[in-house]
């Protein structure tokens, strides 16, 4: 037991939050049952710290500019924003300079191969994609957004990602089942003018290569040259 907090106190009852550390779900259930079996005590609700962390989602959109008054609003939005739109229409490359595009990644999945859970669909995959977006922001300063597609058709996924691409500076493909993931990644790299990274393919390769290089350093051996 790590904490006792009084939530509500009345003449006929008292509500207390009890915080305990449990080793697993079974242990938590055992603790709950034991407390509920005590006389005069009712267990109203059991919360899990992991679930509490996910309540309402793990990421949010915040404005980088201050909207303190009408003048600020008129420049951030209408009518001033029209000038920015016209500049980008005249020179599309300016989108990287004048919008979030240059520092924004789409984390794309169809929910067909999520972690060790398998094909659980786009909605159930969303917590993982939110987590990946949070990692992008925390460790790289990159803004990322989950894009969970309600289709597992290769052609539709490619079409949708291509249609979304103008908004993003890069595409991170995540938890798409093999072998479709390889075709999707290869074709998107050909079709788009922004980086396309397949996390389960390239990310795993990078980690394995790093481990091998570090192992070679520990045994004071050089990395093999290409073709050897």
Q: Is 112 exposed, middle or buried, given 0-12, 13-18 or 19+ CB atoms closer than 10 A?
A: buried
The secondary structure element, H or E, covering residue 148 is strand 143-148
- Backbone φ, ψ for residue 194 (5° rounding): -125, 160
Q: Whose structure tokens read 């390889």? A: 182
Where does residue 176 rank: exposed (0-12), middle (13-18), buried (19+ CB within 10 A)? buried
Order the strands of the 104-109 sheet from edge to edge. Answer: 143-148, 104-109, 170-173, 196-198
Helix (H/G/I), strand (E/B), else coil: 210: helix
Q: Which of 64, 132, 156, 168 is catalytic?
A: 132
Beta strand 143-148 with 196-198 is unpaired
Scanning 103-148, the segments in alpha helix (DSSP H) are 121-140
Among residues 45, 58, 64, 77, the one annotated as catalytic is: 77
105: Cβ contacts below 8 Å, ≥ 6 apart: 136, 142, 143, 144, 145, 168, 169, 170, 171, 172
Residue 168 is among the residues annotated as catalytic for this protein: no
Q: Which helix (H) or strand (E) holds 154?
A: helix 154-164
Give catalytic residue positions.
77, 132
């Amino acid at each position: 037991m790590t904490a006792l907090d009084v939530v509500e106190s009345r003449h006929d009852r008292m509500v207390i939050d009890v915080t305990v550390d449990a080793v697993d779900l079974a242990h938590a259930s055992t603790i709950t049952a034991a407390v509920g079996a005590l006389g005069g005590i009712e267990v109203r609700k059991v919360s899990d710290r992991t679930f509490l962390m996910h309540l309402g989602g793990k990421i949010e959109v915040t404005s980088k500019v201050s909207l303190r008054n009408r003048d600020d609003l008129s420049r951030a939005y209408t009518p001033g924003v029209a000038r920015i739109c016209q500049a980008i229409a005249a020179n599309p490359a300016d989108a990287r300079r004048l919008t979030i595009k240059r520092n924004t990644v789409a984390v794309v999945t169809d929910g067909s191969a999520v972690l060790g859970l398998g094909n659980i669909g786009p909605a159930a995959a969303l917590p993982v994609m939110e987590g990946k977006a949070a990692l992008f922001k925390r460790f790289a300063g990159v803004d990322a957004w989950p894009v969970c597609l309600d289709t597992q058709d290769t052609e539709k996924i490619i079409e949708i990602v291509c249609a979304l691409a103008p908004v993003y500076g890069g595409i991170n493909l995540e938890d798409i089942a093999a072998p479709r993931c390889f075709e999707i990644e290869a074709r998107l790299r050909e079709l788009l003018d922004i980086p396309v990274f397949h996390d389960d393919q390239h990310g795993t390769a990078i980690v394995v290569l790093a481990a091998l290089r570090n192992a070679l350093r520990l045994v004071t051996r050089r990395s093999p040259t290409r073709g050897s």
